[in-house]
Amino acid sequence: MDELEQIRLRKMRDLMAKNDTSGNELDSPKTLTDATFDDFVHKNPVAVIDCWAEWCSPCRMIGPVIEQVAKEFSGKVSFAKLNVDQNPATAARFRIMSIPTLLIMKDGVLVDTITGAVPRDYLVSRLKPYL
């Protein structure tokens, strides 16, 4: 196999991994869209979706908390991010009126909602009943 073909294959694998919403890499939040939302929540028994927007300061504040908890709960809970400005259909479907809003899904069904930039311990306490 020539060098160019090896590079092409590596780039293809990297691109596929980046766009994977199957939950195989559970230790970092996936990026969801209106089109990939249902597939993600149905493939992952417990999922937390961070509904956010680029301009939202509290959304940026809770981002590192989500990253940390995603690593801690790797293999137990799948995390994802949904930009509500770019994905208005899902935001409307779940009546997202304030951001950040965290949707906690169990077996594809909404079981809990957290609104606002909450501390790590609060988020963990709200997740534990669904494990």
pLDDT surpasses 50 at 125: yes
For the stretch 15-46, what's the b/e string if a residue is b when 16 or more beta carbons lie within 10 angstroms of its beta carbon? eeeeeebebeebeebbebeeebbeebbeebbb
Residue 56 corresponds to which amino acid? Answer: C
Kindly state the helix (H) or strand (E) to which residue 103 belongs, with its residue range.
Answer: strand 101-106
> What would the two tokens of residue 62 be?
């809770």
Q: Is 44 part of any domain? A: yes
Q: Is 1 part of any domain? A: no
Q: Residue 24 half-sphere exposure, CB side, CA atoms within 13 Å? A: 7
Q: Is 16 part of any domain? A: no
Q: Which domain holds residue 56?
A: 22-130
Q: Has this prediction a pTM greater than 0.85? A: no
In this structure, what DSSP letter does residue 65 have? H
For 77-99, how does the pLDDT look when each residue is reduced to its tens digit (9 = 90+)?
999 999 999 999 999 999 999 99
Q: Is 102 part of any domain? A: yes
Q: Is 11 part of any domain? A: no
> What would the two tokens of residue 23 be?
């939950």
pLDDT, averaged across the chain: 89
Q: What is the mean pLDDT of residues 95-109?
A: 97
CATH code, 111: 3.40.30.10
Q: Is 26 part of any domain? A: yes
β-pair partners for 79? 48
Q: How many domains does the chain have?
A: 1
Residues 6+ apart with CB under 8 A from 42: 108
> What would the two tokens of residue 50 be?
């961070």
Active site residues: 56, 59
Q: Is 3 part of any domain? A: no
Q: Is 15 part of any domain? A: no
CA angle, 86 then 91 then 94, to 5°? 165
Quick one: pLDDT at residue 23?
43
